[in-house]
Structure formats: structure tokens, C-alpha cells
Structure 1
């Protein structure tokens, strides 16, 4: 997954930065007369400034503001988090980092959530003291739940350290500086090359100053809408960490016709009673491997979890 994201990141970056400039330089002849009226050219200029302003603010927010907010959230959980004892059900070593004598591990934890419903959750983190073997299967660790169920992270280890990765922050600063330098250079170069004392009247929609910004916004949307959904399902995680469990009666199970990575999406329609005794009918869609299709229950009962504030929102935590 990481290599795929890097590949598509580089691929899309090519179409955002050098590609629009290359196409423009190869296809457009250098105009020595104004292409637009003064009003239209300033409209294009304002539009381009809005685009690049949004792009720069987006990356400042994602690379810095969000990081500082997450750090403050973790500090808040360390102060006010709800303690739980978690049992380690499964342990997997993903990578040994020799330089730091550190393991990248994946563990499956079992512990009561905010509603005291016992859940299972897989998580990855760095074990800085692998020689202590604290995370072997069968051991227990202390975790702290985030009392604000709508915010991530939903839980942390009770002894988790809070800090910034220095090299990572330097790379983020370098990226932002290069982005701003690219934008300034884009405006400066083409104004010097094409203005001919007519100001910004050389601008058109397909000009690299504008089109490069439009492509960059498309780049941002691709990563937000596609890769963001592939990497995590926030709604389901929120239900997992704050929802209640119930035994639901299966009304119907059917395929939706949608395939994701050549795997079918299955729709469950179930009925259940919440902890107040009120009956609900809800629908849940899940991507299932072809190998598991035969084992999916078509009738009877199934364990679900539901959102206490909106019982129509459910998930099937395990067994499918």
C-alpha cells in the first residue's frame, strides 16, 4: 500500500507541475499582444490566486496544524483518558529497525470500549523496548480511551510518549518552502516572459499559472476522496470505540453488484433492539473476499455494534 501511494503520488505530481508547463510551452506561440481584456485577465489572476491560496493553506493544515492538534489531543488523553486493561490476542513483527533497536509491530488488542462493550482492534506501532517482550500474545497492557468519541486517536497506550519526528518535520518544511517557491517562480517567470507591458492580459484558463493549480487541486481531491477511504473507515472506528453491541436478526443478505479490488460488496439488512428496547432495522455494507462468501450467514442472528445516538448506523465487528 505504501509503495502504491508513493507511485501514484509521483505520477500525479508530474501531471500537476511539469506536464502543464511542458504542454503549454510546446503548443502555445509566444503572444506579443493581449489575449484578454483587462477585466477578464484580472478575473483569471484572482481565480489563480484563490486556487494557489487554497492549495498552500491545505498543505499547511495537513502538514502542520493537524499534527499539532493530534499532539494536543494525545496530551489531553494522557491527562483525562479513560483507563482500560487490554489483553493482547495476537502479535506480529512487521519490521526490525536495527539503527534504533526498535520493532514495528502489529498487535490485536481486546478491551472494553467507552460503552463497556468488549471489542477487538488491530493497531501498529513502534516497540522501543523489544527485549521486554511486553506485547507477546497473552500479555496485558494499559490503554487510555479518548473520552471524545468523535476525535482521533480513539485510544493510546498509557505510557505513550508525545513528540515530533525531527527529520519528518524538516521534510515537511522543505516541501512547503519548495511549493511556495514554485508558485512564486511560476508567476514571476511567465510575467517576465509574456507580459510585454500589458500586465496580466496573457492569462487564459489553460495557462500553466492556472491549469497547474487546477491539476494540483485534483491531486488533492484524489488523495482525500480515494486514498483516504482506502486507508481508514472513520465512521466504523467511531462505532467500534463508542458503540454498543446487540444481537441482530438477519432479514436479508445480498450482493450489491459493486466490486472493489475484484471483491464483492455484500449488503446485510438486519433488525435488532437497542439497550432501551426499541426495535430498529438497519443496513450494513461490507467488502468480502470471494473465499469467505460461502461462510457468510444468510439467516439466523449475527452480532453487531450500533451508534447509541443514531442506531441506524451499525457495523459487524467480526465473524464476516
Structure 2
């Protein structure tokens, strides 16, 4: 996994940074006369500045602002979190790190959510004291729920420590400085090389100042698209941690025709009564493994969880 992240990082870096410059240098002859009118050239200049400003702000937000916000959220949960006792119902050792005597583990916890509905949740983290066997199956741990379900994380362990990885922060700062230096260098180098006292009238869409920014912007937009695909799971987690449970009657179960990694998506239409006694009909779509397709219930009742403020939003917490 780490190798793939490094590979794709280098691959994208190549197509966003040296590739546009290389193509331009090989295909374009140095022009000693203006390529565009003054209005068009300043239009290209403004367009390029908007692109690079968006890209720089995006990375600053991802690398710094979101990190500081998450740290502040964890500190807030440590002060104001709602305590719960969680039982460990599953444990898996993912990796042992001899150098630091740490285990990377994955556990499944069972505990009441904000509405005192018993839920199960999987989490992965570093166990710094594996010799104490605190996370063996059957043990109980203290957790703190985030009372504000619009923010992540939704819960933490009560003894969780919060802090910054110094080397990680230094690498982020270096990356941000290099990016700003690269963008500034693009403008400075090509202006000194191609302006010939005509200002920015050498700019074209395929010029590295613009095209490199466009390639980087495409990378950013693809990243945001992939994140948005995961946003549905975040909505379900919000329902899991703040929703109420109900017994729902299955109206229909059908395949939508959509395949995700060759796994079919199933659509459930159910009816249920909320805690006020009001009846609702809701639809829920879930990707099901082909191996578990035969175990999908097609009639009868099924346990669901719903958002009490919007009962049309439901989830099925138990997997198939």
C-alpha cells in the first residue's frame, strides 16, 4: 500500500511538474514577438493565477488547517465528550513494529451511541503497550463520544493522547514551501525568458505556467471526487453514532444494476415507525459481496438505524 502511494505520487508529480515544461520546451520555438493581444494575455494571466491560488489553498487546507482542526476537535472531546463503556468483541493484529515495540491492531467495539442505541464500530490504531493486553476480546475500555456529530472523529478512547508528529509537520512545511517556490519560479523564469518587454503577451493555454496548473488542478479535482465517493459512508457513520434503531418491514429488495468492483448494489425499500410512532417508507442502497448475496433478506423484518431529524435517511448496520 505504501509503495503504491509513493508510485502514484511520483507519477502525478511527473505529469503535473516536469512533463508540461518538457513538452513546451521541445515543441515551442522561442517567440520574440507577442503571441496574443494585451486583453487575451491578461485573461490567461488571471486564469493561471486563479488556478494556482486554488491549488495552493487546497494543499494548505489539507496539510495544515484540517490537521489543526482535528487536533482541536480531539481536545474538545477529551474535555466535553460523553463517556461510554465499550466491550471489545473482535481483535486482529495487523503488524508488529519491533523498533518501537508497538502493535498496529484492528478491533471491533460495542457500546451505546448518543441515543443509547447499542452499536458496533471497527477502529484501527497503534497499541503502544501490547504487553498489557488491554484490547483482548472481552475486555472493556472507556470511550468518549463527540457530542457534535457534524465533526470527525465521532469518538475517541478516553486515554487517547493528541499531538503533532514533528517530522511529519516539517515535511508538510517543506512541501508547501517547494510548491510556492515552484509556482513563483514558473512565473519569474518564463517572464524573464520570453517577455521581451511585451509583458505577459507570450502566454498561451499550452504554456507551462497555465498547463502545469491545469494538470495539477485536474489531480486536485480527481482527489476531491474520490473523497466525495466516500462521503456517503461518512453520512452513514453519523447515523450510526447519533441515530435511533427500529425494526423495519421489507417492502422490496432488488438489484440496481450498478456494479462496484464487480459486486452488485442492492436496493432495499422498507417501512418503519420512528420513536414518535410516525410511519415512514425509506430506500437504502448497499453494495453486497457476491459470496453473501444469498444471505440478503428478501422479506420479513430487518434492523435499521435512522436519523431522527430526517427519518428518510437510514442505514442497515448489520452486514451480510
Deviations 1:138-169 (A, max 9, x none): 00000000000111000000000010011111
Question: How many residues of Structure 1 are paired with residues of Structure 2 in the alignment?
Answer: 320
Once the two structures are TM-superposed, the CA of residue 8 in structure 1 deviates from its matched residue by 3.0
Once residues 299 and 171 of structure 1 are traced to their aligned partners in structure 2, the CA distance between those partners, rounded to angstroms, is 54
Partner of 1:122: 122
Partner of 2:194: 194
1:284 matched to 2:298? The reply is: no
Corresponding residue SS for 1:211? helix
Q: Is the 8 A contact 1:13 1:219 kept in 2?
A: no
Partner of 1:148: 148
Partner of 1:174: 174
1:32 matched to 2:32? The reply is: yes
1:256 matched to 2:256? The reply is: yes
Partner of 2:185: 185
Name stretches of at least 5 consecutive residues in structure 2 with no aligned partner.
none
Once residues 18 and 30 of structure 2 are traced to their aligned partners in structure 1, the CA distance between those partners, rounded to angstroms, is 18
Quick one: structure 1 residues 68 and 27, their matched pair in 2 at CA, closer, same or farther if it must change by over 3 Å? same
Quick one: structure 1 residues 264 and 3, their matched pair in 2 at CA, closer, same or farther if it must change by over 3 Å? farther
Superposition pairs of residues 78-227 of structure 1, within 5 angstroms: 78-227=78-227
Moved over 6 A (4+): none
Quick one: structure 1 residues 6 and 297, their matched pair in 2 at CA, closer, same or farther if it must change by over 3 Å? farther
Select between 12-21 and 204-213 the one with higher mean Cα deviation.
12-21
Q: Is the 8 A contact 1:306 1:314 kept in 2?
A: yes
Once the two structures are TM-superposed, the CA of residue 15 in structure 1 deviates from its matched residue by 1.7
Quick one: structure 1 residues 281 and 253, their matched pair in 2 at CA, closer, same or farther if it must change by over 3 Å? same
Deviations 1:164-214 (A, max 9, x none): 011111111111111111101111111122111111101111211111111
Name stretches of at least 5 consecutive residues in structure 1 with no aligned partner.
none
Deviations 1:256-302 (A, max 9, x none): 11111111111111111111111111111111111111111111111
* Aligned-residue CA RMSD (Å): 1.4
Corresponding residue SS for 1:99? coil
Corresponding residue SS for 2:150? coil
Partner of 1:299: 299
Corresponding residue SS for 1:255? strand
Partner of 2:312: 312
Deviations 1:59-113 (A, max 9, x none): 1111111111111110100000000000000011111112211111100000000
Quick one: structure 1 residues 51 and 28, their matched pair in 2 at CA, closer, same or farther if it must change by over 3 Å? same
Q: Is the 8 A contact 1:37 1:201 kept in 2?
A: yes
Corresponding residue SS for 1:131? helix
Quick one: structure 1 residues 235 and 142, their matched pair in 2 at CA, closer, same or farther if it must change by over 3 Å? same
Partner of 1:20: 20
Q: Is the 8 A contact 1:304 1:314 kept in 2?
A: yes
